[in-house]
Amino acid sequence: MTNPRPVWWRGSAPPHTGQSSVSTQAIPCNFLCDTGPMPLNQKADPKSVKVNLTAGTGMDIEWKDGHRSSYSFKWLRDACPCALCDDERGKSGREPGEPPKLAPGALPMFKAPAKPVEAEPVGKYAIRFRWNDGHELGIYSWEFLREYCPCEACAAERTEKAKAE
């Protein structure tokens, strides 16, 4: 039986065994914070997550509502949600997943393709990558990944939503 309420983990997250289990390390969110239990966004609940580290092709998620998302490692690195990367994107007016723009007159420099050297779950709500450029601060929540799904249908939905606002 799974616990539908979010939890915070002390120490490292329990190893993912593929089976639902209750950890003695789990503490309900409303115990640690005053926001109380948050509703679980069913749309952002993954059914399966496949990280293709060896092939270097990216990450595929099948969501419980049947939607499928594919993220290239380049897209994921350019979408890093950490405060540092988010601030840099905000200053340059980029959306998550959009590559940085070259400064006017700057020559493009060789940069090794983005590839994670390690991927690990963060509780039951996110995944974290350690990148080949040494960066490892971004925690990619399932909600963030679903909100910025790069498929054509989701991109069109975001565009329509932005026009309506």
**Is 62 in the same domain as 90?**
yes
Query: In angstroms, how far is CA 139 from the centroid of its own chain?
Result: 6
- In a domain, residue 106? The reply is no
Same domain, 82 and 155: yes
Q: Are residues 32 and 68 in the same domain?
A: no
Cβ 81 vs Cβ 141: under 8 Å: yes
Indicate if 71 and 135 belong to the same structural domain: yes
Q: Are residues 4 and 72 in the same domain?
A: no
Flag whether 105 is in a domain: no
- On whether the CB atoms of residues 52 and 58 are closer than 8 A, the answer is yes
Average pLDDT score over the chain: 78
E strand spans, the chain: 7-9, 26-28, 46-52, 58-63, 68-71, 116-122, 126-131, 139-141
Task: Note whether 70 and 128 are same-domain residues.
Answer: yes
Same domain, yes or no: 76 and 137: yes
Tell me, yes or no, whether 18 and 64 share the same domain.
no
Is 25 among the domain residues?
yes
> How many domains does one find in the chain?
2
Full-model pTM: 0.70
Q: Is 46 helix (H, G, I), strand (E, B) or coil?
A: strand
Give the Cα separation of 52 and 121 in Å (integer). 14
Do residues 33 and 53 both lie within one domain?
A: no
Containing domain of residue 57, as a range?
42-99+112-164
| Count of residues making up the chain | 165
59: CATH: 3.30.2020.30
Residues 81 and 2 grouped into a single domain? no
Residues 15, 95: one domain?
no
Q: Write out pLDDT tens, residues 30-61.
A: 333 333 333 456 678 999 999 999 998 999 99
Give residue-wise pLDDT tens across range 5-35: 333 333 334 344 343 333 323 333 333 333 3
